[in-house]
């Protein structure tokens, strides 16, 4: 059988793993600096936990897990013959791989709310799975790095999450812009255009603007039975200025008497002005009135982060979800969270050559194998280096020295160490720096530092 990978999945080489760890370590450090605590949840959940939380399109991308045993024997023959997808699914699958980290987190909070201290701040760095069409920057298995706060309605949380985003990307030496909107503004727009009953259709189509353009969005709105009269009222959405506060002022005028729309404007204005007061450059913040993010559970602020110097789509996103735990029978636990897209961040850093050299770990010393007593003494010295936190390894076989040289060069090992009979007798160590091409002999004490 010819070996192959499942579509949308990848193997990671040592260099890639070290680079991914570099990103994760920076994010984890910042999460903890901002007071977030780690959490891990299972890779799969009950199917009922996940369905109905991501909208119609999201539900189709959930990877379902077949029940164990002879699951087909329990299938209703009529459903099988009629190919009733929904009924079939319920009979052959009751588990699914998690689609994101937010819904499992909400499930955790609902199950443990009596034991948690609120506001509860958690971060989570784990893989998720989506049955999406693989393409550049889009995989079926990928990591999310989330930070969420539940149990507080304070808009200062939004301000802090903006700070967390900007500090983390600054530490990665990556210039980004945070695009922002508010779900209440979108609800206000639907009310303004007389399409409140079509809010989900409206936001799903609007969220595709950067992919299909204005004409594509209008075409989809019409296909979703939104009238041309309503679309004409929303024409101004496609002609926004670069001044976020000016755009909010324009909305205030259009939303006169529109309570939910004005509430959204007020919330976003608070977040923007307070962020600027804390020294954040307004150029890093964009009020994107067409940003919807397509997820049904957002109720307030919506974020999306884009790299300034790379064409990659969003590399982070999130928002406020005040009602998510209600579906699990627990009310009044508002929440807000953001996510960092590890895989896309990796691709952007790679494209812009922003990975530091130290992001790839290399073995410091390879000890040549001369066989016999010399090998035992080499291992004793290797043990002492490892106790000092210095990476070292022994070439496993007593091969020709040229073969050992080649191994060290191909693996990128910095130094080749010779501990032969002469060195052991004199209490010295000879080593060659393979990068500089220099060879020297030093005392054992000097070598160990």
The H or E element that residue 417 is part of is strand 415-418
Q: Which two tokens stand for residue 263?
A: 């509430």
Is 107 annotated in a binding site? The answer is no
> Which among 444, 415, 421, 417 has a CA at the least distance from the CA of 374?
421
- According to DSSP, residue 138 is labeled B
> Which among 418, 320, 339 has a CA at the least distance from the CA of 377?
418
Is 130 annotated in a binding site? The answer is yes
Those residues whose C-beta lies under 8 Å from the C-beta of residue 401, and which sit 6 or more positions away, are 368
Is 101 annotated in a binding site? The answer is yes
Distance, in Å, from the CA atom of 276 to the CA atom of 8, rounded to the nearest integer, reads 40
Distance, in Å, from the CA atom of 319 to the CA atom of 338, rounded to the nearest integer, reads 6
Is 251 annotated in a binding site? The answer is no
Work out whether strand 285-287 and strand 176-182 pair parallel, antiparallel, or are unpaired. parallel
Distance, in Å, from the CA atom of 6 to the CA atom of 3, rounded to the nearest integer, reads 10
Distance, in Å, from the CA atom of 240 to the CA atom of 249, rounded to the nearest integer, reads 12
Is 102 annotated in a binding site? The answer is yes
Q: How many residues does the chain have?
A: 449
Could you list the residues known to form a binding site for L-histidine, using ranges. 100-102, 130, 144, 148, 293, 297-298
Could you list the residues known to form a binding site, using ranges. 100-102, 130, 144, 148, 293, 297-298
């Amino acid at each position: 059988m010819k070996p192959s990978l499942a579509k949308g999945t990848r193997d990671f080489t040592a260099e890639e793993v070290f680079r991914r760890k570099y990103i994760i370590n920076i994010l984890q450090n910042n999460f903890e600096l901002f007071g977030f605590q780690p959490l891990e949840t299972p890779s799969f959940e009950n199917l009922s936990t996940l369905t109905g939380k991501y909208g119609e399109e999201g539900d189709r991308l959930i990877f379902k897990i077949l029940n164990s045993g002879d699951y087909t024997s329990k299938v209703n023959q009529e459903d099988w013959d009629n190919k009733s997808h929904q009924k079939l699914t319920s009979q052959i699958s009751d588990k699914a791989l998690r689609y994101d980290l937010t819904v499992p987190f909400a499930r955790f909070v609902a199950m443990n709310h009596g034991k948690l201290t609120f506001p509860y701040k958690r971060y989570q760095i784990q893989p998720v799975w989506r049955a999406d069409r693989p393409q550049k920057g889009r995989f079926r298995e990928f990591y999310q790095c989330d930070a969420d706060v539940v149990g507080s309605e304070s808009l200062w949380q939004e301000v802090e999450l903006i700070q967390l985003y900007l500090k983390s990307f600054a530490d990665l030496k990556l210039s980004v812009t945070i695009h922002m909107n508010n779900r209440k503004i979108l609800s206000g727009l639907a009310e303004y255009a007389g399409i409140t009953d079509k809010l989900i259709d409206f936001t799903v189509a609007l969220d595709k603007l950067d992919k299909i353009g204005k004409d594509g969005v209008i075409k989809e709105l019409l296909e979703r039975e939104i009238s041309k009269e309503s679309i004409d009222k929303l024409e101004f959405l496609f002609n926004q200025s670069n001044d976020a506060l000016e755009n909010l002022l324009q909305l205030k005028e259009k939303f006169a008497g529109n309570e939910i729309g004005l509430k959204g404007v007020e919330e976003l204005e608070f977040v923007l002005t307070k962020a600027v007061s804390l020294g954040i450059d307004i150029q890093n913040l964009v009020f994107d009135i067409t940003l919807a993010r397509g997820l049904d559970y957002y109720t307030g602020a919506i974020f999306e982060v884009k790299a300034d110097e790379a064409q990659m789509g969003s590399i982070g996103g999130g928002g406020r979800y005040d009602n998510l735990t209600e579906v699990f029978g627990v009310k009044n636990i508002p929440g807000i969270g953001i996510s960092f897209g590890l895989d896309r961040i990796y691709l952007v850093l790679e494209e812009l050559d922003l990975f530091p050299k130290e992001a790839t770990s290399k073995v410091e010393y390879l000890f040549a194998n001369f066989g016999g007593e010399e090998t035992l003494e080499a291992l004793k010295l290797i043990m002492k280096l490892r106790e000092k936190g210095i990476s070292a390894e022994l070439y496993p076989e007593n091969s020709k020295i040229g073969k050992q040289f080649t191994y060290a060069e191909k693996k990128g090992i910095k130094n080749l160490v010779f501990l032969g009979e002469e060195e052991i007798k004199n209490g010295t160590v000879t080593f060659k720096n393979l990068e500089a091409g220099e060879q020297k002999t030093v005392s054992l004490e000097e070598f160990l530092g």
